[in-house]
């Protein structure tokens, strides 16, 4: 018997909390909106308030004004532009509440730590706009990839683990419980291990990536193919939204359809502050996973499959 929690998440982002996150220093009184810059050491974000030129500016107008202002007011004594010299936003598209930014090719010339800061600054900048709930980044029309080679996917306020900027790319370790299967592919077997992950990335995504790497204990078998590509994993108010590409629908592993689903759910609920998991494939959840499981529903931990 499987356990499901029906209904889609109605969680909303409280943008005011975004402005209270550690690692950002305000130089001016809190008014209007913020633009983000780097400090002179390029290891910390700084925020500067600004007021739009037009009092009745709409969503599209505010997006355009923020794009135009990025890179301005570059004071070498206090701050540096969020985007490196020569890097531009070539275009943008607002689809629903997802804003896609298309960056010029030299965006990828940044080192990993600066790129993470730049990415976080871009997301914070545009999430302030009413009608924008998440941001995706393309580079010359190709989805942005992180240092590990995985697509970054859609980002929101929960996409960044805040920490001191000097350790933005540092590794953290955590004890996790991952679930694999046996040779029959019909049960779940828990496996405890210490996992190391980059502290600037969501721990939920790191848990799923660790699950993809496969088991280490004898008698344990993988539940996901090694080439499975997770696009994003974002936690909001107890719900983890896990987005895969279409490759998740095919596998050369002989396991029951519910095994990989509940291996992910159980691993996340045991190792993170997660109550339910909402799956999607290429951003869509109105699909059937391998023709069996309805991904429009949220899934809770399943103990009946655990041996």
User: pLDDT > 70: what percent of the chain?
Assistant: 80
| 197 close to 174: Cβ distance less than 8 angstroms | yes
- Mean pLDDT over 218-233 rounds to 92
pLDDT band at 223 (very low <50, low <70, confident <90, very high): very high
**Which is more confident, 43 or 233?**
233
The helix/strand/coil state of 65 is helix
Choose the weakest-confidence range: 30-44, 139-153, 165-179, 265-279. Answer: 165-179
Q: What is the pLDDT of residue 241?
A: 92
pLDDT band at 2 (very low <50, low <70, confident <90, very high): very low
**0.75 cut: is pTM over it?**
no
Across the strands, what pairs with 102? 91, 138
pLDDT band at 148 (very low <50, low <70, confident <90, very high): low
CB atoms within 10 A of CB 86: 10
Helices (H), the chain: 15-18, 59-69, 112-127, 203-213, 258-271
Domain extent listing, the chain: 15-161, 170-299
Q: Is the pLDDT of residue 238 over 80?
A: yes
């Amino acid at each position: 018997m499987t356990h499901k929690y029906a209904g889609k998440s109605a969680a909303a982002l409280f943008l005011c909390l975004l402005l209270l996150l550690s690692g950002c220093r305000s130089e001016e009184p809190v008014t209007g909106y913020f633009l983000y810059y780097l400090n002179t050491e390029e290891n910390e974000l700084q925020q500067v308030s600004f007021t739009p030129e037009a009092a009745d500016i709409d969503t599209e107008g505010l997006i355009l004004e923020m794009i135009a202002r990025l890179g301005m007011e570059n004071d070498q004594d206090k701050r540096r532009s969020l985007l490196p010299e020569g890097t531009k936003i070539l275009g943008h598209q607002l689809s629903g509440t997802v804003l896609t930014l298309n960056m010029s090719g030299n965006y990828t010339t940044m080192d990993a730590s600066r790129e993470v800061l730049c990415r976080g600054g871009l997301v914070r900048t545009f999430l302030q706009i009413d009608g924008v709930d998440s941001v995706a980044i393309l580079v010359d029309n190709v989805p942005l990839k992180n240092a590990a080679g995985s697509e970054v996917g859609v980002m929101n306020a929960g996409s960044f683990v805040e920490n001191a900027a000097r350790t933005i790319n540092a590794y953290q370790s955590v004890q996790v419980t991952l679930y694999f299967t046996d040779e029959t592919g019909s049960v779940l077997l828990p496996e405890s291990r210490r996992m190391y992950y980059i502290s600037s990335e969501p721990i939920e995504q790191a848990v799923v990536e660790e699950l993809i790497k496969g088991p280490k204990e004898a008698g344990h078998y993988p539940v996901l193919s090694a080439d499975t590509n997770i696009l994003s994993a974002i936690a909001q108010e107890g719900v983890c939204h896990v987005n895969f590409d279409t490759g998740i629908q095919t596998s050369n592993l002989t396991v029951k359809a519910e095994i990989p689903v509940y291996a992910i759910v159980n691993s996340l609920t045991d190792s993170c502050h997660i109550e339910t998991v909402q799956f999607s494939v290429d951003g869509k959840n109105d699909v059937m996973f391998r023709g069996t499981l309805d991904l429009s529903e949220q899934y809770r931990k399943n103990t009946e499959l655990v041996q």
